Structures are given as structure tokens and as C-alpha cells.
Structure 1
Amino acid sequence: MEVSEDTVQRIQEFVQNRQAAEKESAREPLRATNLQAYAHRLDETLRELQEQVQRQEDELNKLREIGSHGLLDISNDPWVRVAQARRAKKAYDSLLQSEDELPPTGSILPSLLAVADTSQLIKESKVSVTVTAEKLSTDRERLRVEEANLRDSRAIASGLRERIQQIRSTNARKQKQTPSQVAQDVAKEQKKKNKELDRASAALKVSLDSFIDETLAPMLAAEDLGGPTVGDALEVSDATLKAGYTAHGNPKKPKQPAEPENGAQQRIDQFLQRNNDSLNLTNKREAAATEVHELLDALLEAGNSYVDLKRDSAASRFLVRSKVAQFHPRDARRLRLIDFGRSLGN
């Protein structure tokens, strides 16, 4: 089948318009408003085509009615038959000269339209795949969280079931025992708990003493000498304690001893000075550690009662800042431990 030049030109124009539309669509992302506008245009085009088909069907029905009343009636008069033939020829000529608005049977326009629709569907499918992939990633993350929560819930439920079973077994065993046996079991359990508590308390006491002697004592000594507050300087060297602190709390620079003329006398003086410095540093650290130990022992022995402080020391201030002890509301020279277990006991 030969294709006319006019048809080829129209197809080329359609291809160019289609390419321009694709470029415009690539520059602008696909949005819901664009899809709605495109669907609205398709609906309008379909409605116009349906109206056009309906009009042509109405005209065809009218021609059929006219033909059934005039053309198909065979008359005996020859002039009437000639007039009918002329009218039919005129109608056929007008139909042949009119331009078809629909593509012919062998046209490639339907194929091009199908390709355009397929390309549009492919683009929409790619967008849908991207959105679905993002949603799938979110759903997988949520699934992992829900699975973790489910595992925790199952572990909690299993622990509760074991605890309930243990309590039931204990109650059943107690019901079978006599009151004396129950009392003996309770006494044994209490002794065991007391031993564990004593052992834990002893270990805690050793750790506390080690912390006070090795870490806390130098910082307390530095604060007593006018240095930084406990916790501001985590490491206080012996040289810093030896030199002391200024009125602003800054470490003093160590003094350089004068060199004597006699070398032997210099070595003797240096030896005596080192011994005196070591004794002073040891006394400062040990005094601070001893003061903390004595204060803690006095507070533990007093229980909820207040103890009288000999002086305002860095140790007492540190215990108050640490929420371990508290001053008397009206007398800062009295101190007592904070009752940590009162809320639990109540």
C-alpha cells in the first residue's frame, strides 16, 4: 500500500510533537496534578470522538431514511428514476470528496499511539517502582523493630512464666512443710542473704578505701590548700601539692633552690629537702584520706542522727555535693547521711 506525501508529513509532525512532549515531560517531574490533567484531556478527547461518531451515525441514519423513501422506491416513470439516480450520484460524490477524520485501515497512526501510550505507562511504572522501593525499605525497618519488640516481649513473657512457676512451686512446698520447717528455711535464706550482703559490703569497702587513698585524697588536699574543687582537676601531682596554690586557685610555680658553694653540703641539703617534701606530701594526702575515712565511719555509726564537724573541710563539702550527706537546715556544722532506702522501705 502506497502512502501519500501528506500522510508521511503528518506522521513526521506527530513524531516531532511527540519528541517535544517527551522532552518537556523529562524536564518536569511526573506529578499527580499532571496525571490528572492528562487523564482529563483523554476523557475530553474520548467524549469528542464519541460525539462525532454519534453525529455521523445520525447522518447515516438520515441518509438511510431518505434512501428508503426516495432512492429505493422503483418508479415506473423514467424521469423519476433518473432524478433518483442523480440524487444518489450527488450524495456519493459528496461523500467521496469529504475528508476522512479517522485513519484508514492500513495507517500506522494507531501503532504510534500505542507506542506513545506504552512509553507513558513505562515511565509511570518506573515512578511507581521507585515509590514502592522506598516504602519497602521503610516497611522492612519497621519490621525489624517489630521483630525486636516481639523477641523482647517473648523473653519477658518467658521470664514471667518461669517466675510464676517458681512461686507456685515454692508455695506448694511451703504448704507441705510444717511451720518449724518453714521457719528454718526462712532463717537459712536470710543467713545466706546476710553473708552475701556482708561479702558485697566488704568488697565495696575495699574499693571505696582504694578510691579514697589513690584518687580522692590528692584532690581533697588540693582543695584544702585553696586549689580547684574536687572533680575539676582529676589528677593532682605531688609537685603541685608541694608548690601550693595562689589566691586565685592556680598552681604556683616550683621554687628553684639556691646553689651553695660546697658540693657536699648541697647534696646533704637536697637529701634532707627531699625527705622533708616527701614527708609533707605524704602527710597532706594521708591527712585528707584519714579525714574522709573518719567522717564516713562517724556518719555510718550515727545513722540518721547528725554528727558535729570539727571544721569546714573539703571532705564534708564533697560528700554534700555528691548527695551522700546533707547539712543541718539551721546549722552548717552538723552533718548526716541521706536516707537512701526510705522510699524503698515505704
Structure 2
Amino acid sequence: MNVTQERVEKIRLFSERGREIEDEYSQQPISPTAIQDYNRKLDETLRELQDHVKRQEDALQKLRASRPIELPRPDMGSQERLSQVRRAKKAYDSLLRTDPELPAPDSPLPVLLALRETSRLLDESKASVSTIAEKLSADRQRLKVEEGNLRDAQMITGGLEERIERLRNERSEKEEKAPSQLANELIREQQSKNEELDRAAAELKDALDRFIDEHLASMLAAEDLGGPTVGDVLEVSDTILDAGYTLHGKPKKPKSTQTGRDPTQQRIDVLVQRQAGQGEDRNAPTNKREAAAAEMHTLLGRLLEAGSSYIDLPCDSAASRFLVKAKIAQFHPRDARRLRLIDFGRTIGD
């Protein structure tokens, strides 16, 4: 909706005049006589409008009764059309020469019409403000998105320019160096990468060993003994492993001889025995948790040495089942006693 500045100024002046009149009315309340006079003027104006409408309707009925209205027809000739246009022009000219019937100067009709027009403009302005507010909110959101895209584009452009400049510098440096010097630099760079990969692999191996010894071994031992599957129970003590599990997978009650000893004291005794060199093998597992850890270490070592080839499993164990569930290894399609690591560059079925 387009509203001219002139119309806005008129509305503003009208609002100011209305506010002034309201202030005057608040200071000098309207008397009952003034209200009766105003209502009387409204009634007179309404009667005048009704009489005017009635006169116009009577004139129209007389015009229709005296002469039928000739509407343009497709079969009318040019002369008939021209005469009809001339008659219409003559009628309009006669209307232009007559004075329009306007309300009296003291009639409340102009004020009512102005109020109705003002109310209409206010309603349209409120609707326009609501629409503009919604559009403004959407435009702000779009501006934020576009600003984010601009920042990303600037960062990408900066990174590409830095990369291009670095490649140009490397190219100029390579052109200035001899082939033997470039070859030595490539060899040193590759050796540095290999050493870094070896260090990272050693760190990963140590972390994996700690995870197996501290967390996974007890769960593997529990599954081998008929207990919960790996991951169902995260903490399984050595006492529960020594007691075993029932046919229903529930822990057995520890024996009285075992409950009488402190588990911490048992581990201290085992450590002292190892340090003293008692027994045939100082690294031999002393409990079921350590046996499960040793089995997992051995199995992973064999798989890593075999690479993509299959290895033969001496028996089904929780360690091999866990590796398959974790999608680290897979059984042979036709022989479940053979296992190999999954080639992560290919699908499982290859």
C-alpha cells in the first residue's frame, strides 16, 4: 500500500486536532443539550441522505419508464453507435453544469466520512506494519546466513590464496635445487612421517593393551565362564570370576575359604611371588582375568601378523566373538574356526 506524504501529513494534523478537541472536552465536559443537538443533526443528515436516495431512485424509474435503455449490440451500425455516444456525452455535459448536492456546512457528515477514512487507513497501516515486521525478521535471518556464508567464503579464499602462494614458493625452491637434493629431502620427509606413524602406532598399542587389561579382560572372562555378554556388565571382580556363574548366567556365591581372604591381600601375594621368581613362568596368568587378557593379546598379535590372511582358531572364545561383534575381524564365510582382520578400505563381504 502506497501512502503519499501529503496524506500522512493530513492524518497527522487531523490526529492533533482530534487530540486538542479531546483535551477541550476533558476540561469542559459536553452538556446534555449539546449531545441532543448533535443527535438531532445526525437524524436530520440521515433523513436528507434517505430523501436524496429516494429522489435519485424515482428519477431513475421515470427515466426507465419513459425510454428503454439501449445497450450496444454487435449488429449495430456505426451511425447508431455514434449517435448513442453523442447522447451519452450530452448527458454527462448536463451533469457537469449542474451544481453537486453537498451537505450543509454544519452537517456532521464530513466528519463521519473523515473518521471512517481514518479508521480504514489505520487498519491498513496496522496490517502493513505487521507484514513489514515479519518480512524484516525474515530478512534479518537471511542477512545472518549470508554474512556467515560470506565469512566462510572469505576464509576459503584466504586459505586457497595461502595454499597457492605456498605452492609457488615450493615450486620456485624446487626449481633452484638439484635433483639429488630434492631426492634427499623427500627421503628425510618420508622417514620423518614413518617415525611419526610408528610412534602413533606404539601409543595406540599401549592404549589398547591398557584397555584390555583394565576393562575388557574381566568381561571376556565372565562371558567365557557363562556369564553376561561383554558390555552388559562393565565391572566384574576377580572374586566373582573365581566363584563362576550358574547355568542361568548368574554369579555363584563365593566359597567360605575365598570370602575369608582380602582380594587386595591376594593381589599383593601374587605380586610378591612374581617378583621373587616363584613358579615356572613369571609372566604366567594367576587368575581368570589375566588369562582372558593374555588370550586377547595373543589373538590380536596373531591377527596383526597375518594381515589380511585368515588364522586358525583353536576354539571358540569370547575374545574372537567380541572382535567380530565390534567389526574388527570377521569369520570365514564357510569355516567359523578361521578368522581375519577386516580390511577397512573395503566392505565386510569382500
- TM-score range relative to shorter protein: 0.5 to 0.7
Residue ranges of structure 2 left out of the alignment (5+ in a row): 1-33, 47-52, 61-89, 271-284
- How far 1:306 moved relative to its partner? 1.1
Residue 270 of structure 1 pairs with residue 263 of structure 2: no
Cα gap change, 1:283 to 1:239, in 2 (>3 Å): closer
One-letter amino acid of the structure 2 residue matched with residue 319 of structure 1: L
Corresponding letter in the other structure for 2:260: Q
| Change over 3 Å in CA distance of 1:238–1:189 after alignment to 2 | same
- Tell me the percent identity: 56
Give the equivalent residue in structure 2 for 1:200: 200
The offset of 1:107, in angstroms, is 2.2
Aligned ranges 1:1-346 → 2 under 5 Å:
8-9=39-40, 11=42, 58=94, 102-252=102-252, 254-255=253-254, 257=256, 270-271=260-261, 275=266, 283-341=287-345
TM-score w.r.t. length of structure 2: 0.63
Count of residues in Structure 1 that have an aligned counterpart in Structure 2: 259
Deviation of 1:7 after TM superposition, in Å, equals 6.9
CA distance in 2, matches of 1:286, 1:103: 110
- Distance of 1:218 and 1:342 partners within structure 2: 32
Cα deviation 1:100-144 (Å, max 9, x = unaligned):
963113323212211221122222222222222222222222222
Please say if residues 228 and 249 of structure 2, whose CA atoms lie closer than 8 Å, have aligned partners that are also in contact: yes
Match for 2:131: what amino acid? Answer: V
SS at match of 2:336: coil
CA drift at 1:245 = 2.7
- Change in Cα spacing, 1:232 to 1:186, as seen in structure 2 (3 Å) is same
Structure 1: 5+ residue stretches without partners: 16-44, 65-99, 258-265
Residue 5 (structure 1) shift: 7.3
Structure 2 SS opposite 1:227: coil
- 1:186 CA drift (Å): 0.3
Q: Deviations over 1:47-97 (max 9, x none)?
A: x9xx99x979736859x9xxxxxxxxxxxxxxxxxxxxxxxxxxxxxxxxx
CA RMSD, aligned part only?
3.9
Higher helix share: 1
Q: Is the partner of 1:191 in helix, strand or coil?
A: helix
Distance 1:290 1:4, change over 3 A: closer
Deviation (angstroms), 1:194 = 1.0
Q: Distance in 1 between the 2:244 and 2:216 partners?
A: 17
Distance 2:286 2:145 in 1: 57
Aligned in 2, Cα 1:115/1:200: closer, same or farther, shift over 3 Å? Answer: same
Structure-1-length-normalised TM-score: 0.64
1:228 Cα shift?
2.0
How far residue 176 of structure 1 moved from its aligned partner, in angstroms, is 1.8
Q: Quick one: distance in 2 between partners of 1:333 and 1:119?
A: 89
SS in structure 1 at match of 2:335 = coil
